[in-house]
Amino acid sequence: MSTNGTSERFLRLSEVQRMFSVSRSTVWRWHAERGLKVVTIGGVTRIRESDLQAFLKRHETQAAPSPVTALADQA
C-alpha cells in the first residue's frame, strides 16, 4: 500500500512479458542492466506498476523529425 492510502497494483513478470512481447530473460536484463525495480518477498517476485511506468518514462525516446519537416526547417 502506498503512503496516501491507495493500494498499488503489483504485476507478475509474465504480465510484463506479455505486455511487451519479450522473454523472461529480457525482463530480468531490464532489472539488472537498465534499472527496472522488482520486489521479491518469500521467493515471489513482482513489479510495481508505478515502477514499470517510471522505467518506461526514463527510457522513452523522442521521435526523429521527418525528412519533410527537416527540409522545411532548413528553408
Residue 52 above 70 pLDDT?
A: yes
Average pLDDT, the chain: 86
Q: Check residues 52 and 72 and name the one with the higher pLDDT.
A: 52
Residue 5 above 80 pLDDT?
A: no
pTM: predicted TM-score of the whole model, two decimal places: 0.72
State the CATH class of domain 1-60.
Answer: mainly alpha
Average pLDDT score over residue span 37-65: 91
Average pLDDT score over residue span 43-65: 90
Residue 10 near residue 48 (C-beta atoms within 8 A): yes
Helix 13-20 × helix 24-34 angle, to 10°: 100
Residue 11 near residue 49 (C-beta atoms within 8 A): yes
Which element (helix H / strand E) includes 41? strand 39-41
pLDDT recorded at residue 1: 45
